[in-house]
Amino acid sequence: MNFPEDLQYTREHEWCRVKGGRAVVGITDHAQDALGDVVYLELPKVGDVLKKGETFGVVESTKAVSDLFAPVSGKVVEVNDPLVDAPETVNEDPYEEGWMIQVEMSDPKELKELLDPAAYRKFLEEEAE
């Protein structure tokens, strides 16, 4: 399973890529694999204000429904709307084409609470036990 070095991760299996004051957010390779074929997505609108840890959308596979949790607080400034019509992209390319939202961070200090790839891997191992 692939966990790129330049990303930070949540215990709810979102990833976060920091670009200046913005965070690009998606779900991890582990999350897409555990869900199975993603067939439906609900994403927020540009302008919505998110609070770290709160749900910002829903991802559904054939069998399962899963909430999406905001890794950081801030305002949604971009949404990957084409994803809604091609949800399989989340399975095929979770870290690039499968990105979900971009957030203008209101409190970048929150990033410190996220996991680096090694810590996320360790968390997954512990979770599997």
Partner 1 sequence: MAQRTPLYDVHVKAGARIVEFAGWDMPVQYTGILDEHEAVRTRAGLFDVSHMGEVVFRGPKALASLQRLFTNDLAKCADGQAMYGCLCRDTGGIVDDVVVYRRSATDLLVCVNAANRQKDFDWLHGHAGGADVQNESDAWAQLALQGPAAAAVVQKLTAVRLGSVGTYRFTTGDVAGVPCIVARTGYTGEDGFELFCPPGRAPALWGALLEAGAAARVIPAGLGARDSLRLEMAYRLYGSDMDDDTTPLEAGLGWVVKLDKGDFVGREALARQKEAGVPRKLVGFTLTDPGIPRHGYRVLRDGQPVGVVTSGTRSPSLEIAVGLAYVPAPLAAEGSTFAVEIRGRAAAARVVKTPFYSKPKPASPGAAP
Residues 123, 113 contacting (CB under 8 angstroms): no
58 binds partner 1 (CB under 8 A): yes
Strands 49-50 and 22-27: unpaired
- Contact code string over 33-52 relative to partner 1, x by CB under 8 A: ---xx-xx-x----------
Among 65, 81, 113, 119, binds partner 1 (CB under 8 A): 65
Whole-angstrom distance, CA of residue 57 vs CA of residue 3: 22
Taking the least distance from each CB to partner 1, the nearer of 8 and 66 is 66
Q: What is the distance, to the nearest Å, from the Cα of residue 129 to the centroid of all Cα atoms in its chain?
A: 23
60 sits near partner 1 (criterion: CB under 8 A): yes
Compute the least distance from the CB of residue 109 to partner 1, in Å: 31
Residue 62 in the binding site for partner 1 (CB under 8 A): yes
Find tokens 């991802």 and name the residue. Answer: 59
- The residue (of 10 and 32) whose beta carbon lies closer to partner 1 is 32
Q: Residue for token digits 């990833």? A: 15
